[in-house]
A and B are shown apart, each in its own frame.
Chain A
Amino acid sequence: DAGVIQSPRHEVTEMGQEVTLRCKPISGHDYLFWYRQTMMRGLELLIYFNNNVPIDDSGMPEDRFSAKMPNASFSTLKIQPSEPRDSAVYFCASSRYSVDEKLFFGSGTQLSVL
């Protein structure tokens, strides 16, 4: 398996623009997580899905953030409009049956909002 695939690897955009991050989890994994990593706060959970259904989105900062998982092999995280404080590395991760299973991370998307 190719592992968790994220795109793009790097995104530079201007404040106010829409940003869409993409993730393909490992086939057969029922759980998908979106994390944000910053120097100040470390890794923070934004939202996670179980079998394509959003379970906990309490980490989503505000209404500017939205996430979807239309099928088992694809998820998006959208920021609209983007702000400089959204600059961070965004990771997607998946696990097989539960959070007690090993977690596999994508390579991350480095987002810079100017």
Chain B
Amino acid sequence: KNEVEQSPQNLTAQEGEFITINCSYSVGISALHWLQQHPGGGIVSLFMLSSGKKKHGRLIATINIQEKHSSLHITASHPRDSAVYICAVPLRGQFYFGTGTSLTVIP
């Protein structure tokens, strides 16, 4: 059983579309992380959040601790947003990762 489930696995969008990626987890956590991995392979931490909502540019992350669910939204998507987005939860002293959502934004 995976502690962290992401959906969708793959997502293709037209430039300008609003995008939502979902992450559900099965255990109590103190914080959740959203990561971005570009085609070049590097992984960057986008957000760490434990409640409510965080915004950085066109990216918005929300979390509902009671429902054990988080979403990552991208407004006015752009081809440079094409990447794999991964949610991660710290549990028992380490991180557990979702399988990732591969996003392709078409011009």
Do the beta carbons of A105 and B42 come within 8 Å of each other? yes
Q: Mark B48-90, 1 if CB is under 8 A from A, else 0.
A: 1000000000000000000000000000000000000010101
Interface residues on A, range: 20 to 34
Q: Which residues of B contact A73 (CB under 8 A)?
A: none
B65 to chain A, nearest CB (A): 14
Contact of B86 among A43, A45, A93, A99 (CB under 8 A): A43
Q: Which residues of B contact A48 (CB under 8 A)?
A: 93-94
Q: Give the dominant DSSP class at B's interface.
A: strand
Q: Which residues of A contact B93 (CB under 8 A)?
A: 48, 55-56, 99
Q: Is A101 an interface residue (CB 8 A)?
A: yes
Q: Give the dominant DSSP class at A's interface.
A: strand
Q: Which residues of B contact A91 (CB under 8 A)?
A: 43
CA distance A107 to B38 in the complex (A): 11
Q: Which residues of B contact A105 (CB under 8 A)?
A: 35, 42-45
Contact of B94 among A99, A104, A108 (CB under 8 A): A99
Contact of A45 among B42, B44, B94, B98 (CB under 8 A): B94
**13 interchain pairs, CB-CB under 8 A:** A42-B86, A43-B97, A45-B94, A89-B41, A93-B43, A100-B30, A100-B48, A100-B90, A101-B48, A102-B45, A103-B33, A105-B35, A108-B42
Besides the known contacts A45-B94, A55-B93, A93-B43, 9 further A-B residue pairs in the complex with CB atoms under 8 A apart? A33-B94, A42-B86, A45-B95, A91-B43, A99-B93, A99-B94, A102-B45, A103-B35, A110-B41
